[in-house]
Amino acid sequence: MHEYMKPIVERIRTLRVIPVVTLDDPGHAPALAEALVEGGLACVEITLRTAAAEEGLRRLTRSDILLGAGTVLSVDQAKKAVDAGAKFLVSPGCNPRLLEHCCNLRIPVFPGTATPTDVELALSWGFDVVKFFPAEAFGGLKTLKAIAAPYGAVRFIPTGGISKENLASYLSFAPVLACGGSFMCAQNLISAGRFDEITRLTKEAVEIARKAG
């Protein structure tokens, strides 16, 4: 593992859950942050899937939030996300140009993997904590166990289809560092301003993670 990755990895290891958020309106960002923190998760990954994402990142830059940017597809997006305040990046795939850029600038990044080839590409750049995506659509925990078996030093962040029903089973698998999920901060809840419900669901996720160990 790159030395500069260790503080971010340790914080995520402690949290066990990364709320994955898609924002339509950057004005919702501050209230969302408050709801997540109140629920016990001082972390958020804003996906770069909407025009509101970059401004949303800027409005979430605060000392008590571990702020990440997801769906990072290019070096240009990586630069913009970091400029907007992201402390770590997450990509859906294993883009060598993106990994090279992050290595050169010491930017924490979790590359997306779905196959052993992806994992080995990430390892070749020194990244041994990777996203497993799309987790449920790609066979879920059964597939992850098969992929993880040859790579004892690799830790995974399953994302895609993670719910409160399957969160505990993923977190109980030792190679899983944390899970990324949007079930506690779904886009429709944010758009409707239902931040009390986001807090409630976040507390549920935290409790599930605590029991999973």
Residue 159 identity: T
In the DSSP assignment, the letter for residue 159 is B
Q: What angle do CA 134, 135, 136 make, to 5 degrees?
A: 105
What are the residues whose beta carbons fall under 8 Å from the beta carbon of 7, sequence distance 6 or more?
none
What contacts 49, CB < 8 A, 6 or more positions away?
22, 71
- pLDDT per residue rounded down to tens, the chain (213 residues): 899 999 999 999 999 999 999 999 999 999 999 999 999 999 999 999 999 999 999 998 877 899 999 999 999 999 999 999 999 999 999 999 999 999 999 999 999 999 999 999 999 999 999 999 999 999 999 999 999 999 999 999 999 999 999 999 999 999 999 999 999 999 999 999 999 999 999 999 999 999 997
Q: What is the DSSP letter of 194?
A: -
Handedness of CA 50, 141, 189, 14 (dihedral sign): negative
User: What is the distance between the alpha carbons of residues 131 and 155, in angstroms, rounded to a whole number?
Assistant: 9
d(CA 150, CA 115): 12
Q: Are 186 and 36 in contact (CB under 8 A)?
A: no
Work out the number of other CB atoms within 10 angstroms of the CB of residue 51: 11
- DSSP label at 179? E
Please tell me the predicted confidence (pLDDT) of residue 163: 97
Total length of the chain: 213
What confidence score (pLDDT) does residue 62 get? 73
Residue for token pair 């590359």: 111
Question: Which residues carry out catalysis?
Answer: 45, 131
Domains present along the chain, CATH in parentheses = 3-208 (3.20.20.70)
Contact 188, 25 (CB under 8 A): no
CA-to-CA separations, 129 to 115, 171, 204, in angstroms, rounded: 14, 15, 25
Distances in Å between the Cα of 34 and the Cα atoms of 17, 19, 22, 77, 160 are 16, 13, 16, 26, 24
